Structure 1
């Protein structure tokens, strides 16, 4: 997936979203990986590409330092270990001013959204979680559309299906909503995506 290096370097060189949109490539010419990254950034997501696990740790430390976050909410034991490794405090108690770090079910290429289930969120709804999210995902989790995402969730959990499946489709909190079909149900979050290449 060397295209990620090329694509990420192009994104870093551009300082405005308009520049990202003017790449000259039609969406039908992009791979699903490139399409996801383009859509995700266009919606306001903060993308941190990681070629190895050490880079995930470094980028996570940088995100926490830049935002002056000294404590992080997580429900996942592996992520608790990661936070311990980088010497960050952690809690499972929901405190709105703290960021929430989690894994996800999949990354949806055709709209740049991120899909979660009760495996990551437990019994919480997205609207009840803090506005600041950090998501740790892998390139192998990128799928074409939400139908593929739901199909994958069902295949991975034949006996124990998650009770809640939801997604974050917008990464600018308090954005004025122009689509009346989404009014009051945007689940928008300020979101950092730590994307580890694993293919």
Structure 2
């Protein structure tokens, strides 16, 4: 059964086989499709996930995020000219912001096995994760979901043959933990919204 049907419902009742396979919504299935693995791990890491069937839904969800956080007519960091129109429509300044409320970006890939997001200098220039605003809005497509970080590096290598990006990094933690966790040492937690556009 598709994860998107599980989350957003379906008009057709599940078959007996699907009921048997749906043994626990809290237990990750290592044989599950990559999109299910990614969403499970991403949400476990504290990320906020919004599924979008089309570009109109992307804009609607984006405006809802702005309203929820009172970010209309604020400043944002953004390096992708394709996203400038979304900011301009909502009167958000992105040209040399002094105190950006958030960063709006695309990404290289979504890493399923750890629920992280892979960025390069194409999206965040030379900023380290701890230099970025705490609030991040990422727009990605379902076709960008891959299994591991090494797969992501292979995709980048094949995608940018002559203009290879630098500063390749992942962001994995999307909420601060209450107790000390050595796995988060050296990383900064981000309040991250993912607008995931279905393109498969």
Q: Which TM-score bucket, shorter chain as reference?
A: 0.7 to 0.9
Q: CA deviation at 1:178?
A: 1.3
1:155 equivalent in alignment to 2:158: yes
Count of aligned positions: 185
1:16 counterpart residue number:
none
**Does 1:59 pair with 2:58?**
no
The residue aligned with 2:123 is 120
CA deviation map 1:134-161 (0-9, x unaligned):
0000000000000101110111011111
From the superposition, tell whether residues 163 and 31 of structure 1 become closer, same or farther in structure 2 (CA, over 3 Å): same
| RMSD over equivalenced CA pairs, Å | 2.1
Question: In the aligned structure 1, how far is the partner of 2:165 from the partner of 2:81?
Answer: 18
**Structure 2 unmatched ranges of 5 or more:** 10-22
**SS at 2:46's partner residue?**
coil
1:50-129 superposed matches below 5 A: 50-70=52-72, 71=74, 72-85=76-89, 87-96=90-99, 98-129=101-132
* Partner SS, residue 88 of structure 1: coil
Match of 2:2?
A: 3
Secondary structure, counterpart of 1:163 in structure 2: coil
2:196 corresponds to 1:195: yes
Q: Deviations over 1:140-199 (max 9, x none)?
A: 0000000101110111011111111001010014654412x541x223211000000001
Deviations 1:62-92 (A, max 9, x none): 000001012232111111112223x231214
Distance 1:25 1:54, change over 3 A: same
Considering only CA atoms, is the larger Rg found in Structure 1 or Structure 2?
Answer: 2
Unmatched 5+ residue regions in structure 1? 11-20
State the TM-score, normalizing by the size of structure 1: 0.85
The two structures have a TM-score, normalised by structure 2, of: 0.84
